[in-house]
Amino acid sequence: MSNMQLDTLRRIVQEINTSVSLHESLEIMVNQVSEAMHVDVCSIYLLDERNQRFVLMATKGLNPNAVGNVSLHTSEGLVGLVGQREEIVNLDNAPKHERFLYLPETGEEIYNSFLGVPVMYRRKVMGVLVVQNKEPQDFSEAAESFLVTLCAQLSGVIAHAHAVGNIDVFRKPNSLPTYKTFQGVSGSGGIAIGRAIILYPPADLAAVPDREADDISEELQLLDHAIASVRDEIQSLDDKMQDALMAEERALFSVFLRMLDENALPSEIKTEIRDGHWAQGAVRIVIDKHIALFAQMEDDYLRERVSDLKDLGRRILAYLQEADSSHRELTDESILIGDEISTAALVELPVDKIAAIVTTEGAMNSHMVIVARALGIPTVVGVTELPVSTLDDVEMIVDAHQGRVFINPPRRMRTRYKEIQKEEEQIAKDLKQYETKDAITPDGVAVKLYVNTGLMIDVVRGVQRGAKGVGLYRSEIPFMLRERFPGEEEQRAIYRQQLSHFANKPVVMRTLDIGADKDLPYFSIEEENSALGWRGIRFTLDHPEIFSSQIRAMLKASIGLNNLHILLPMVTSVSEVEEALYLLERDWVAVQEEEQVKITKPKIGIMVEVPSVLLQIDEFAPLVDFFSVGSNDLTQYLLAVDRNNPRVANVYSHSHPAVLRALTRLVQECHKYDKPVSICGEMAGDPLTAILLMAMGFNTLSMSSSNILRVRKAICHVPMPDAKVLLDQSLQMNNPLMVKSLLEYYFKTHGLGDMVKNSSRAVSL
Ligand code: PEP
Ligand code: MG
């Protein structure tokens, strides 16, 4: 593709990004494409799934009155052919083609050449883009590749515009708030009915939600104050740089100051405020408009000023947010929404007041999701199309079992979901009887169930639900709650609480596992490929002072309790364990000397998360006392699928035969060396896969407290011989969906249907 075409492409995408509605986006697209390609006609047809028809949504060249009034069934016409084949159709004489369908309303019979390109989004046809010429001539390969690239780029934009504008673009608008449905990935099951509250990162223009101004004159005042502050700030920057920068290099500051002149940006922002927007939203609208204008300029210098403009916008916003006292209070029915919500941001909120969480990013095993699961908050992540900024205070239903989010749900749907909520409360009540039962199969095999902890609430719930120990204490969670690395004594007190609540029971404390999606607010690790980067033991061995203060705190906390086990995360090589063991031994000797007490030496284990460990159990076994599988990361690395990326969430599965086979062999290997092996990833908390893990012979299964009762119930109902048969059958299957169906079928036919997630609870209207 030529540079000129690339430029055109970029311009079209930028212009569409700033359009306010789907219809406007499509208009822009057809006009720009027909101009750039010098074609007589450019039209876009979108698929109306409900009626299985391609509807003409925009055209340049055909009869404009046909827009919205002409449609073809998916089996009709050349447009239908492009949709059916999911590939390009390039014809020099379209009217002669057997599939050509003459639609008198369009006046297209005079056009001979036809090039139709499918607009695909996530493997599904969303529409067809067509260009036509009177001249009977094939379109060139260059034209094809231009349109293919354009459609690939634009499919996401269309999907988004589609979602933002109106999910049902084919229905006539009415005065009722628009009901919309969005699909994401289920992070933590449950149902919530409530209103959205946006959690947006500070000084991020793109994240500012749309909100009506409560008091226009107050918003105008806030703006005046913010503009004056930014002017002062830039003026003093300019003064400071007098000696360091040349006059031309400081020219930007005067450009900024001119932009802040009352007649420039401020007057435009004020117009938006007078139209009813709150000041922050008005700044976003005006800056976006200018960015779009700049981006279209042919002049490179001006194009590059886009980032300066953004910077100016951020500065104004920062002052406005500083003065913002309108933070909405959380209520019992608050549904927290945002693009990305960090674990730290989540746990800082009054978590008992969050009815549900919905984010556009993240995936099933992102760290925040694991914490939300522990807290029992229904969570849906990876809802990529959710127009977050437009949903402030909007009514929604979150069906986290199915990963669905309903905006402005109709009354019938609300009533049905209220009923389902009641049924779920009943199921939870029934599960309560398992709090005091042991996890023993009907044929008498006992399985040890441990709890994963991090917050104190996990400990309390773990004890209440009869956990036999802590299989994974995620020590990074208290680190995330602070504004700096906690000191040794501070850590000792935290660890003591964990150990003493489970006195006489084993508590496995993992050393600091940060990096990848586990960021500390005060120690951000920015890396291109963070899942493969500086994380877990790689980080702590590079910071022995942090490692040692943690080990020393754990050892001191264990005095008199003697139930401490230490677990090393993200181990890749034997040398890492040797180094860690050296530090552990050194700290153990030193703390005993300092405290003048004998401290029982903790058992030391490693996490099996990196596939290399699977192949070196013989070398690790003599060094350690136990193994613990982190199936969340192990699945990520075995399948090479980012556990946080919603785009590939369908490829990430702990029921994948490769994962099941690796785990089966691992258990055998560990037992060959007489080493206990447990599993503490989310796989252990899924009743379906827990049965397979039990059959593999894992010594303990450790899970979030919210899953213990369900898993215990499953164990109490599935005899070991059945579990072994299910495992054998699963190991012979070649894809995860078949494994899942097999397990679901067994559960549904053995009185355990309510344990099957995503059961057929879909509420349709
Ligand atoms: C895992 O990877 O499975 C695990 C338990 O650790 P985390 O989810 O905290 O990375
Ligand atoms: Mg892990």
Report DSSP letters for 258-317, one per residue.
HHTSTTTHHHHHHHHHHTTB-HHHHHHHHHHHHHHHHHH-S-HHHHHHHHHHHHHHHHHH
Pocket test for ligand 1, best of 607, 635, 677 (most atoms within 8 A of CB): 607
Q: Please give the distance, rounded to the nearest whole angstrom, from the Cα atom of residue 409 to the centre of ligand 2.
A: 37
| pLDDT confidence band for 470 (50 / 70 / 90) | very high
> Of ligand 1's atoms, which has the minimum distance to the CA of residue 370?
8
Q: Please give the distance, rounded to the nearest whole angstrom, from the Cα atom of residue 681 to the centre of ligand 2.
A: 8
Residue 146 in this model has a pLDDT that exceeds 90: no
pLDDT of residue 280: 92
| pLDDT confidence band for 469 (50 / 70 / 90) | very high
> Of ligand 1's atoms, which has the minimum distance to the CA of residue 629?
3
Residue of the CA atom closest to atom 4 of ligand 1: 630
Nearest ligand by distance to the CA of 635: 1
Nearest ligand by distance to the CA of 518: 1
Q: Starting at the earlier edge strand, list the strands of the sheet with 404-407.
A: 180-183, 404-407, 395-399, 191-198, 334-338, 354-359, 379-381, 185-188
pLDDT of residue 165: 45
pLDDT of residue 763: 45
> Of ligand 1's atoms, which has the minimum distance to the CA of residue 633?
2
pLDDT digit string, tens, across residues 271-297: 999 999 999 999 999 998 888 887 777
Pocket test for ligand 1, best of 365, 366, 512, 636 (most atoms within 8 A of CB): 365
Residue 356's beta-bridge partner residues?
Answer: 335
- The SS3 of residue 575 is helix
pLDDT digit string, tens, across residues 361-378: 888 777 788 888 888 899
> How far, in Å, CA of 478 to CA of 630, rounded?
20
> How far, in Å, CA of 375 to CA of 731, rounded?
33
pLDDT of residue 351: 80
Name the DSSP class of 607: E
> How far, in Å, CA of 61 to CA of 133, rounded?
10
pLDDT of residue 359: 94
Residue of the CA atom closest to atom 6 of ligand 1: 630
**What is the rounded radius of gyration, in angstroms, for the C-alpha atoms of the chain?**
30
Residue 254 in this model has a pLDDT that exceeds 60: yes
> How far, in Å, CA of 493 to CA of 491, rounded?
5
Please list every protein residue whose CB sits less than 6 Å from any atom of ligand 1. 370, 472, 474, 513, 609, 630-633, 680-681
Once rounded to an integer, what is the mean pLDDT over residues 563-586? 98
pLDDT digit string, tens, across residues 205-224: 888 888 888 889 999 999 99
Q: Please give the distance, rounded to the nearest whole angstrom, from the Cα atom of residue 632 to the centre of ligand 2.
A: 6
CA 668 to chain centre: 35
Alpha helices in 323-410 (DSSP H): 343-348, 367-374
pLDDT digit string, tens, across residues 607-616: 999 999 999 9
Instruction: Please name the residues in contact with 376: beta carbons below 8 A apart, sequence gap of 6 or more.
Output: 188, 190, 706
413's tokens? 């749907």
* Residue linked to tokens 């159709």: 89
> pTM of the entire structure?
0.70
670's tokens? 């560990």
> How far, in Å, CA of 532 to CA of 627, rounded?
21
Give which of 205, 332, 187, 315 is closest to 260, Cα–Cα: 315
What is the length of the chain? Answer: 765
Residue 757 in this model has a pLDDT that exceeds 60: no
Q: Read off φ and ψ for residue 108, nearest 5 degrees.
A: -95, 0
Pocket test for ligand 1, best of 509, 568, 572, 609 (most atoms within 8 A of CB): 609
Residue 160 in this model has a pLDDT that exceeds 60: yes
More confident site: 447 or 204: 447
675's tokens? 């080493």
- The SS3 of residue 212 is strand
- 3-state DSSP helix/strand/coil percent for the chain, to nearest 5? 50, 15, 35
> Of ligand 1's atoms, which has the minimum distance to the CA of residue 365?
8
Nearest ligand by distance to the CA of 373: 1
Residue of the CA atom closest to atom 3 of ligand 1: 630
- The SS3 of residue 13 is helix
Nearest ligand by distance to the CA of 683: 1
> Of ligand 1's atoms, which has the minimum distance to the CA of residue 683?
3
pLDDT of residue 162: 60
Once rounded to an integer, what is the mean pLDDT over residues 517-543? 90
Burial of 695-725, coded b for 16+ CB within 10 Å and e otherwise, reads bbebbbbbbbbbbbbbbbbbbbbbebebbbe
| pLDDT confidence band for 166 (50 / 70 / 90) | very low
Q: Please give the distance, rounded to the nearest whole angstrom, from the Cα atom of residue 570 to the centre of ligand 2.
A: 7
Q: Please give the distance, rounded to the nearest whole angstrom, from the Cα atom of residue 681 to the centre of ligand 1.
A: 5
Contacts 24+ apart (CB under 8 A), 34-38: 34/60, 34/61, 34/131, 36/5, 36/8, 36/12, 36/146, 37/131, 37/143, 37/146, 37/147
pLDDT of residue 690: 98
Burial degree of 597 (CB within 10 A; 0-12, 13-18, 19+): exposed
> Of ligand 1's atoms, which has the minimum distance to the CA of residue 452?
5
Residue of the CA atom closest to atom 1 of ligand 1: 630
Pocket test for ligand 1, best of 343, 370, 518 (most atoms within 8 A of CB): 370
pLDDT of residue 703: 96
One-letter identity of residue 324: D
Pocket test for ligand 1, best of 450, 610, 633, 654 (most atoms within 8 A of CB): 633
Residue 473's beta-bridge partner residues?
Answer: 453, 509
Q: Please give the distance, rounded to the nearest whole angstrom, from the Cα atom of residue 475 to the centre of ligand 1.
A: 12
Do 439-756 and 205-327 fall under one CATH topology?
Answer: no
| pLDDT confidence band for 565 (50 / 70 / 90) | very high
| pLDDT confidence band for 171 (50 / 70 / 90) | very low
> Of ligand 1's atoms, which has the minimum distance to the CA of residue 476?
9
Nearest ligand by distance to the CA of 476: 1
CATH 3.40.228.10 fits 3-174, yes or no: no
pLDDT of residue 212: 86
Q: Please give the distance, rounded to the nearest whole angstrom, from the Cα atom of residue 743 to the centre of ligand 1.
A: 24
Nearest ligand by distance to the CA of 366: 1
pLDDT of residue 594: 96
Active site residues: 367, 680
pLDDT of residue 765: 37
More confident site: 240 or 380: 380
Once rounded to an integer, what is the mean pLDDT over residues 612-628? 98
Domains in the chain: boundaries: 3-174, 185-200+330-427, 205-327, 439-756
Give which of 330, 338, 374, 333 is closest to 356, Cα–Cα: 333
Sign of CA dihedral 275, 278, 281, 284: positive
- Picking from 172-186, 206-220, 637-651, which range would have the lowest pLDDT averaged per residue? 172-186
Contact predicate 8/36, CB 8 Å: yes
Task: List strand residue ranges (DSSP E) for 353-428, in order.
Answer: 354-359, 379-381, 395-399, 404-407
List Cα–Cα distances, 556 to 127, 226, 499, 560, in angstroms. 65, 51, 11, 9
Contact predicate 351/454, CB 8 Å: no
Q: Which of 55-64, 351-360, 383-392, 591-600 has the highest mean pLDDT?
A: 591-600
Give the Cα-Cα-Cα angle 376, 377, 378 (nearest 5 degrees): 115
Taking the CA atoms of residue 494, residue 496, residue 498 and residue 501 in that order, the dihedral angle to the nearest 10 degrees is -140
Give which of 160, 149, 172, 77 is closest to 126, Cα–Cα: 160
Q: Which CATH superfamily is domain 205-327 in?
A: PtsI, HPr-binding domain (1.10.274.10)
Sign of CA dihedral 221, 223, 224, 228: positive
Q: Please give the distance, rounded to the nearest whole angstrom, from the Cα atom of residue 631 to the centre of ligand 1.
A: 7
Once rounded to an integer, what is the mean pLDDT over residues 718-726? 98
> Of ligand 1's atoms, which has the minimum distance to the CA of residue 609?
2
CA 67 to chain centre: 37
Once rounded to an integer, what is the mean pLDDT over residues 676-686? 96
Q: Please give the distance, rounded to the nearest whole angstrom, from the Cα atom of residue 633 to the centre of ligand 1.
A: 6
Pick the CATH number of 439-756 from 3.40.50.150, 3.40.50.2300, 3.20.20.60, 3.40.50.300: 3.20.20.60
Average pLDDT, the chain: 88
* pLDDT > 90: percent of the chain: 52
| Helix 657-672 / helix 736-749 crossing angle, nearest 10 deg | 80
Report the topology of domain 185-200+330-427: Glucose Oxidase; domain 1 (3.50.30)
673's tokens? 């060396």
| pLDDT confidence band for 245 (50 / 70 / 90) | low
Q: Please give the distance, rounded to the nearest whole angstrom, from the Cα atom of residue 540 to the centre of ligand 2.
A: 15
